Structure 1
Amino acid sequence: MATIRKLRGRWQAQVRRRGMKPRAKSFDSKAEAEKWARELESQVDRFGAAPDTKILETTTLGDLLRRYKLEVSPTKRGSVQEIQRIDLLERHEIAHRTLVGLSQPDISSFRDERLSSVAPSTAVREMAILSHVIEVAMRDWGFPLSRNVVKLVRRPIIRNERKRRLEGDEEQRLLDGCDSGKIAFLKTLLIVAIETGMRRGELIGLRWSDISHNRRVVTLTMTKNGSGREVPLSQRAFDALTQWKTLADDEQVMIFPMKAGSLEQVWRRLLVRAEIKGLRFHDLRHESVSRMFERGLNMIEVSSISGHKELRMLKRYTHLSADDLVGRLG
């Protein structure tokens, strides 16, 4: 059991355990002294000896973030976005905390402060980065941390479910709006999106070589969840692609040669022309998946097309039309 006492205006914690030299350290508050003693005792119980914690006193969370950005982030598919988030975290005051002083209240304060200016989903992603940085420091870099404090803090609840679907003649208005635009393939892109439920990045990453005309199937070699899948094409989607193929440049490798940022701008202009409000491009994926269920496909079949690995996530997209379900109920 550690001894905590006040000595010359500061709080001293002393830990005595059989098989190790006594360890003592002074702090400005009793709470900090007790925390240090508890963690040291935990490490002794875990490793059988008291590790050298001096490195924790001289290393900041910012030091870990910088090393992680150089060594770990570049190996990930989403490295660009992660590095951007780490750059932001490095500028936050929490990055100046030493590892020995980093506590649950620090993480909680960080979470609450971020929630005042960003969406819960953003705060969750930033906390996930902090958690993995500490996990890598413990497991791979040999930092003698007794626990990952980020995992002990409650993460914000994300409530971003959307029920927006195409209403009335909105689909036709979107397609008609494509005719007056400058992007020749935009109508084909929208039809394929509505018919297949593919994500924006999957659509603009499509190559003509990905299409098997004999099988009427698109092969995606790499997707958001880290694996590939085959997406069957409806007759409508296949016909739209075939027609666009006759108009496209023979040397054009990409089916829809456009970047994500450009598509977002084109989408906003299309909504203005079609006089539609409150519709996001990603809502076309919601629409597509919901239509699959309304056509009678089961959850396993839909997940194989949409690429959802977790069925509980797929349920968020199944906003079925009550009018269409009446007939099936009898």
Structure 2
Amino acid sequence: MSTRQRHKTKYPGVIYRIPNGEYAGQAEKVFYAIYKQDGKVIEAKIGGQVQHGMTAAKASKIRAEYMTGARLTPQVQRDKDEADKLAEEGKPTFQKLWVHFAEEMQGNTSYKDDRSRWEKHLAPVFGDKTPDEIITLDLDRLKAKLKRDSLSPATTKHVLGLLRRIINFSVIHNRCPRVDPGRLHFAMPKLNNEKTEDLSPDELSRLITAIDQSPDWKAAGVLRLAMLTGMRRGELLALKWGDIDFDKGFLRIVSPKGGKDASIPLNDSATRVLHGLPRTESVYVFPGRNGARSFDLKKPISAIKKAAGLPADFRPCHGLRHFFASTLASSGKVDLHTIQRLLNHQSPSMTQRYAHLRDEAMREASNVMNAIIEDAVNG
């Protein structure tokens, strides 16, 4: 019997065919639904009597569901599954966006920290989601989780900042649509950055000794210049010989954190340090591998810190920058505006943390006059 021959049932639009061969040793009937949709005749396979336990009555109910859209025909379901699969493959999940973001950012000094933040805190939560699938509440839940994990507000800010940078980068490069700020708002935790690291005279002496005894000339040179100029670690590692004007006694900082190129004066001690550094074929003062820019001197700098016996929370480069500023402020000889320019602070408010040191120096100067007058009166 031909497998194409139709056999009517007592139910309108329900037929069956008898295919060649058997199923599980029994003759099989395969039921089909026939109906019109958008002017087109549809013939959809429903199932076999033996294989699926199908009957004409069941097939009639399924046909009605096909016609109303309550159930998809097997072919339509296959087409939908394929379309969903293709859509899923092209879905701009954060995991995919991170890959493109990371490719561009691998040369940055913050890349290792960003990768750690992504792997530890963001990928497990948002890796399979797209930017338009998360809302502000999701960020609030992330902040709450980081707080439960005893992470600092600064770390939380860095994690949220990374997520925002991934989104902005992806939007700029047309990898995902722009996010509605009404649905996703980044409320960053407020930080208390007023910590001003300082060194006691004894700690300073031990640090200078450890620097002098360090076998790593790059780490030693970076710390010496940080102490004498207040420059940031990234600015020192990016420093090129062509940025230094020994004749005029100035050093040019290219695109510092403040956003614009800047020049700072070189004091005699800093000039001697620079003259004492070995000159290689690299354009960089502190070159990395193959003469390229160096991005990390963490190990040798940490070794110097350990040798000096400095506190665990003292950050060598950052701390020496603060030491430079606080020493100038407490001298009473340098105003805050000048300190701001030396530090390349974008805003005066960033230098304001040293105001109390300047005030104390002025108070001591005022007390000198007070003592002179008292001596004159009592004399």
Same fold (TM over 0.5): yes
* 1:95-127, Cα deviation, whole Å (9 max, x unpaired): 445666533322211111123333322221222
Aligned partner of residue 92 in structure 1, secondary structure: helix
Partner of 2:243: 210
Q: Distance in 2 between matches of 1:173 and 1:159?
A: 29
Q: How many residues align?
A: 270
Partner of 1:80: 111
Describe how 1:154-233 pairs up with structure 2 within 5 A. 154-184=187-217, 186-233=219-266
Aligned partner of residue 224 in structure 1, secondary structure: coil
Aligned counterpart for 2:272 among listed residues 229, 239, 253 = 239
Partner of 2:139: 107
Describe how 1:31-42 pairs up with structure 2 within 5 A. none
Aligned partners of 1:174 and 1:270 also within 8 Å: yes
* 1:200-244, Cα deviation, whole Å (9 max, x unpaired): 1212222222210111111112323443211111122123323x0
Q: Which letter does structure 1 place at the counterpart of 2:327?
A: R
Q: Distance in 2 between matches of 1:124 and 1:291?
A: 30
CA 1:158–1:77: 2 relative to 1, 3 Å: farther
Q: Which letter does structure 1 place at the counterpart of 2:309?
A: E
Bigger radius of gyration among the two: 2
Aligned partners of 2:241 and 2:285 also within 8 Å: yes
Q: Distance in 1 between matches of 2:306 and 2:137?
A: 47
Aligned partner of residue 284 in structure 2, secondary structure: coil
Partner of 1:266: 300
Q: Does 1:302 align with 2:307?
A: no
Partner of 1:66: 96
Aligned counterpart for 1:280 among listed residues 301, 315, 323 = 315
The unaligned stretches of length 5 or more in structure 2 are: 1-86, 289-293, 368-379
Aligned partners of 1:290 and 1:318 also within 8 Å: no
Aligned partner of residue 191 in structure 2, secondary structure: coil
Q: Which letter does structure 1 place at the counterpart of 2:273?
A: A
Partner of 1:256: 286
Q: Does 1:290 align with 2:326?
A: yes
Q: Which moved more, 1:311-320 or 1:171-180?
A: 311-320
Aligned partner of residue 218 in structure 1, secondary structure: strand
Q: Distance in 1 between matches of 2:113 and 2:219?
A: 30
Aligned partners of 2:262 and 2:344 also within 8 Å: yes
Q: Distance in 1 between matches of 2:214 and 2:92?
A: 48
Q: Which letter does structure 2 place at the counterpart of 1:312?
A: S
Q: Distance in 1 between matches of 2:246 and 2:209?
A: 27
Query: How much is the aligned-residue C-alpha RMSD, in angstroms?
Result: 3.8
Q: Distance in 1 between matches of 2:101 and 2:219?
A: 40
Q: Distance in 2 between matches of 1:69 and 1:186?
A: 32
Aligned partners of 1:191 and 1:240 also within 8 Å: yes
Aligned partners of 1:218 and 1:231 also within 8 Å: yes
TM-score normalised by structure 2 residue count:
0.58
Aligned partner of residue 161 in structure 1, secondary structure: coil
Aligned partners of 2:249 and 2:265 also within 8 Å: yes
Partner of 2:124: 92
Aligned partner of residue 231 in structure 1, secondary structure: strand
Aligned partner of residue 230 in structure 1, secondary structure: strand
Aligned partners of 2:222 and 2:236 also within 8 Å: yes
CA 1:238–1:60: 2 relative to 1, 3 Å: same
Q: Distance in 2 between matches of 1:129 and 1:77?
A: 16
CA 1:297–1:61: 2 relative to 1, 3 Å: farther
Aligned partners of 2:332 and 2:361 also within 8 Å: no
CA 1:327–1:59: 2 relative to 1, 3 Å: farther
Q: Does 1:123 align with 2:159?
A: no
Q: Which moved more, 1:98-107 or 1:273-282?
A: 98-107
Identity of matched residues, %: 20
* 1:32-91, Cα deviation, whole Å (9 max, x unpaired): xxxxxxxxxxxxxxxxxxxxxxxxx98999625633752798289848358624555652
CA 1:150–1:82: 2 relative to 1, 3 Å: farther
